[in-house]
Amino acid sequence: MGISRRLFGGAAVASLMLASGAAFAESHEPVRIALVVKALGIGFFEAAAEGAEEAAKELGNVEIIYTGPTDTTAEGQIEVINSLIAQQVDAIAVSANDTDALVPALKKAMQRGITVISWDSGVAPEGRQLHLNPSSNPLIGNMIIKLAADELPEGGQVAVLSATTTSTNQNIWIEEMNKVMGNYEGIEVVGTVYGDDLADKSYREAQGLMQTYPDLDAIIAPTSVGIVAAAQAVADAGKIGQVNVTGLGLPSEMAGAIESGASKSFAIWNPIDLGYSATMLAYNLATEKATAEPGAEIPMGRMGALTLDDNNEGAMADPFVYDASNIEAFKDIF
């Protein structure tokens, strides 16, 4: 157990809080941290909630409020945020459905003294104190095209199935992917479509790609909902071995696709670690143990520390590749 983890054990936290004279310690009330996700019922975010609860248990005086809208809309998240403001939570950690639309509500939260951070999918800087990227955007962008290109040594056609047109993280990853296309000779991106992180729409969009581009070799889906739907569409079309599905997904949801051959490999960071890290960051800001400013190193418990850049953003870890060699070890974890 590292030094940073020991520092945030329950007893040590209590003594540090008493020493600082923080209001939280005086009242002995738990620090209430709201983990606001893009939509409820998505496995990735449920795994992140597990990590948040792990951090809360480690800290010893934290209550996690896991919440989000029923669909992936900014309007739904704004309604949730306004409710949290009314509840006077101590911190809001949000994975945003829209970069800019949430800003007014989150600014209101900060004006009320609520700590606000974004994670996974970012909010514009004026609407949060810091943003936690799961990994670095350039590494992710390179990874998703590399996974497709590695299976196409002679080159080929690939298409992208993303989430929503306004989804901050997917758009950035696709931009970064396009920047490095010159490194992958013979690989052509023939189209980009959007499934809105809905399984049925993503399935139909994947079908449409295969119909529109009969010589398609790969579908890249940088979304855990889209990649599963695309793999199913490939299997149902009888194109396993012809069209490889890759991108970002959950081992538990992609194990079948790896086994069938619909997907040769995919990547993801550990969402449990992501929820854990977001909770640690929100806690340290809410209890004034750290300040979000360029160059700051903010502790994330067992995940080390987040180093903030000039935009108060930082990366948690590198993406990890899953394939037939390791899927069994991870599919029961998340």
Tokens representing 9? 């054990």
CATH topology for 3-134+270-316 is: Rossmann fold (3.40.50)
Four-CA torsion 282, 283, 285, 290, nearest 10 degrees: -120
- The whole-angstrom separation of Cα 208 and Cα 42 is 24
Burial 130-150 (b: 16+ CB within 10 A, else e): bbbbbbbbbbbbbbbbbbbbe
Residues forming a β-bridge with 314:
132
- Phi and psi of 197, rounded to 5°? 55, 30
- The whole-angstrom separation of Cα 70 and Cα 314 is 29
- The whole-angstrom separation of Cα 331 and Cα 35 is 24
Q: What is the pLDDT of residue 82?
A: 98
- Centre a 10 Å sphere on the Cβ of residue 8 and count the other Cβ atoms it contains: 21
297-299 and 305-307 strand pairing: antiparallel
Matching residue, tokens 């955007």: 137
Contact 160, 189 (CB under 8 A): yes
| The CATH number of domain 137-268, selected from 3.40.50.300, 3.60.70.12, 3.40.50.2300, 3.40.50.970 | 3.40.50.2300
Domains 3-134+270-316 and 137-268 share a fold: yes
Break the chain into its structural domains and give their ranges: 3-134+270-316, 137-268
Q: What is the pLDDT of residue 43?
A: 86
- The whole-angstrom separation of Cα 180 and Cα 207 is 27
Half-sphere exposure of 85 (CA within 13 A, CB side): 17
Q: What is the pLDDT along the chain (334 residues), one digit of tens a residue?
A: 232 222 233 333 333 333 333 444 445 689 999 999 999 999 889 989 999 999 999 999 999 999 999 999 999 999 999 999 999 999 999 999 999 999 999 999 999 999 999 999 999 999 999 999 999 899 999 999 999 999 999 999 999 999 999 998 999 999 999 999 999 999 999 999 999 999 999 999 999 999 999 999 999 999 999 999 999 999 999 999 999 999 999 999 999 999 999 999 999 988 899 999 999 999 999 999 999 999 999 999 999 999 999 999 999 987 889 999 999 988 987 8
CA separation, residue 293 to residues 8, 9, 17, 130 (Å): 21, 25, 22, 8
Mapped onto helix, strand or coil, the DSSP state of residue 35 is strand
Q: What is the pLDDT of residue 21?
A: 35
Mapped onto helix, strand or coil, the DSSP state of residue 282 is helix
Which residues, at least 6 apart from 139, have a Cβ–Cβ distance to it below 8 Å? 318, 319
